[in-house]
């Protein structure tokens, strides 16, 4: 016997329930819907010299950004500490390098990565991903001549960004940025 599912208004399934923290799926849904807003994407100012960004209102109190990436720009290795997140390419192509390894969250300065933990994803327009806490990655626009634009969302709103340098298999914690550093 099948049980009919309750019918919900479209808006109810498109955002997290009131008072509950948005999940990775909620954030991915948000960045997908936002990236489909051609007018919003076209409104982002683009600068050939560097990345540009506009802050957006994310679902459920999350932090969201629209980011423009000139050819050849990237983030460097970093993670978002205790925040989960999602991002999706709205136009152009982005590459994500990430580590398929759960790193100790604190108390280390350098770490030797085991072989085989590197992952590469090429994210063309309409493609994105969600990620959990302590996801270590770098995002790049490897195109020689084409801007990329992407939408990002994080929850809780970014408490920290930890920045790393990498030499071969050695990852070194270089800097911890907190929101007060960005003001």
Name the residue with tokens 């050849």.
72
- Partnered with residue 166 across adjacent β-strands are 171
- List CB contacts of 17: < 8 A, sequence separation 6 or more: none
Residues annotated as binding site?
A: 78, 80, 137
Residues annotated as binding site for Fe cation?
A: 78, 80, 137
Q: What is the DSSP string of 140-161?
A: E---SS--EEEEEEEES----E
**Edge to edge, what strands does the sheet with 84-91 contain?**
52-57, 63-69, 148-155, 84-91, 128-131
């Amino acid at each position: 016997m099948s049980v009919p599912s309750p019918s919900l208004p479209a808006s109810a399934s498109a955002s997290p329930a009131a008072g509950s923290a948005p999940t990775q799926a909620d954030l991915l849904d948000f960045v997908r819907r936002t990236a489909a807003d051609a007018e919003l994407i076209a409104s982002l100012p683009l600068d050939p010299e560097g990345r540009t960004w506009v802050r957006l209102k994310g679902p459920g109190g999350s932090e969201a950004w629209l980011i423009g990436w000139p050819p050849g720009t990237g983030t460097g290795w970093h993670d978002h500490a205790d925040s989960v997140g999602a991002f999706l390419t709205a136009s152009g192509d982005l590459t994500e390098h990430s580590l398929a390894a759960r790193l100790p969250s604190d108390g280390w300065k350098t770490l030797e990565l085991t072989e085989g933990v590197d992952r590469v994803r090429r994210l063309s327009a309409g493609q994105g991903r969600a990620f959990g806490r302590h996801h270590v990655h770098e995002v790049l626009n490897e195109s020689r001549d084409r801007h990329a634009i992407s939408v990002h969302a994080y929850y809780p709103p970014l408490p920290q960004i930890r920045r790393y340098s990498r030499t071969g298999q050695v990852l070194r914690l270089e800097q911890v940025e907190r929101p007060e550093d960005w003001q």
